[in-house]
Structure 1
Amino acid sequence: MTRKPDGPLRKGWTTGACATAATRAAWQAILSGAFPDPVGITLPRGETPQFALVKKETGPGWARASIIKDAGDDPDVTHQAEIIATVRQASTGAGISFHAGAGVGTITKPGLPLPVGEPAINPKPREMMTVQILELAAEFGVRPDVEIEISIPGGAEIAQKTWNPRLGIIGGLSVLGTTGVVIPFSCSAWIHSIHRGVDVARATGRHHVAGATGKTSESAIKAIYGLPDEALLDMGDFVGGMLKYLRRNPVPNVTIAGGFGKLVKLAQGHLDLHSSRSQVDMEKLAHTAAAIGADTALCDAIRTANTARHVLELCAAQSVDIGNIIARQARETAMATIDGACAIEIVIFDRQGGMVGRAGRLETPSSP
Structure 2
Amino acid sequence: MGESGGPGGGGREAQLKHTGLRPGWTTGACATAATTAAYTALLTGDFPDPVTITLPKGQTPSFALAAERLAPGSAAMAGVVKDAGDDPDVTHGALVRAEVRPLPAGSGVVFRGGEGVGTVTRPGLPLDVGEPAINPVPRRMMREHVAAVAERHGGTGDVEVTVSIDHGAEIARSTWNPRLGILGGLSVLGTTGVVVPYSCSAWIDSIRRGVDVARAAGRTHVAGCTGSTSERTVASLYGLPQDALLDMGDFAGAVLKYLRRHPVARLTVCGGFAKLSKLAAGHLDLHSARSQVDKGFLAELAVRGGADRALADAVAGANTGLAALQSCAAAGVPLGDLVAVEARDQALAVLRGAPVAVDVVCIDRAGTVVGRSPVGSPAG
Q: Which residue number corresponds to residue 55 of structure 2?
A: 43
Moved more, 267-276 or 290-299: 290-299
Answer yes or no: is 1:345 the counterpart of 2:359.
yes
Distance between the aligned counterparts of 1:292 and 1:361, measured in 2? 19
Q: Which residue number corresponds to residue 8 of structure 2?
A: none
User: Which letter does structure 2 place at the counterpart of 1:55?
Assistant: A
Q: Which residue number corresponds to residue 56 of structure 1?
A: 68
Distance between the aligned counterparts of 2:96 and 2:316, measured in 1? 52
Answer yes or no: is 1:239 the counterpart of 2:252.
yes
1:293-351 deviation digits (Å, cap 9, x = unpaired): 11121111111111111111111111111111111110110000012220111111111
Q: Which residue number corresponds to residue 335 of structure 2?
A: 322
- The alpha carbon displacement at 1:7 in A equals 4.4
Answer yes or no: is 1:166 the counterpart of 2:204.
no
Answer yes or no: is 1:261 the counterpart of 2:274.
yes
User: Which letter does structure 2 place at the counterpart of 1:46?
Assistant: G
Distance between the aligned counterparts of 1:293 and 1:359, measured in 2? 18
Q: Which residue number corresponds to residue 34 of structure 1?
A: 46
Q: Which residue number corresponds to residue 312 of structure 2?
A: 299
Q: Which residue number corresponds to residue 324 of structure 2?
A: 311
- The alpha carbon displacement at 1:361 in A equals 3.5
Partner residue of 2:283 out of 255, 267, 270: 270
Gaps of 5+ in 2: 3-17
Partner residue of 1:202 out of 207, 211, 215: 215
Answer yes or no: is 1:18 the counterpart of 2:30.
yes
In the TM superposition, 1:196-235 aligns within 5 A as 196-235=209-248
Q: Which residue number corresponds to residue 9 of structure 2?
A: none
1:11-42 deviation digits (Å, cap 9, x = unpaired): 00000000000000000001111000000001
Q: Secondary structure at the match of 1:88?
A: strand
Q: Which residue number corresponds to residue 178 of structure 1?
A: 191
In the TM superposition, 1:60-71 aligns within 5 A as 60=72, 61-71=74-84
Q: Which residue number corresponds to residue 366 of structure 1?
A: none
Q: Secondary structure at the match of 2:126?
A: coil
TM-score by length of 2: 0.93
- The alpha carbon displacement at 1:98 in A equals 0.3
1:138-168 deviation digits (Å, cap 9, x = unpaired): 1222211100000011100000000000000
1:162-208 deviation digits (Å, cap 9, x = unpaired): 00000000000000000000000000000000000000011111111
Structure 1 runs, 4 residues or longer, greater than 4 Å off: none
1:70-89 deviation digits (Å, cap 9, x = unpaired): 00000000000000000001
Distance between the aligned counterparts of 2:362 and 2:136, measured in 1? 38
Answer yes or no: is 1:251 the counterpart of 2:269.
no
TM-score by length of 1: 0.96
Matched-pair contact (CA < 8 Å) for 1:253–1:362: no
Partner residue of 2:368 out of 344, 354, 358: 354
Percent identity between the two aligned chains: 60
Distance between the aligned counterparts of 2:185 and 2:154, measured in 1? 36
User: Which letter does structure 2 place at the counterpart of 1:351?
Assistant: R
- The alpha carbon displacement at 1:56 in A equals 1.3
Matched-pair contact (CA < 8 Å) for 1:260–1:309: yes
Number of equivalences: 361
Gaps of 5+ in 1: 364-368
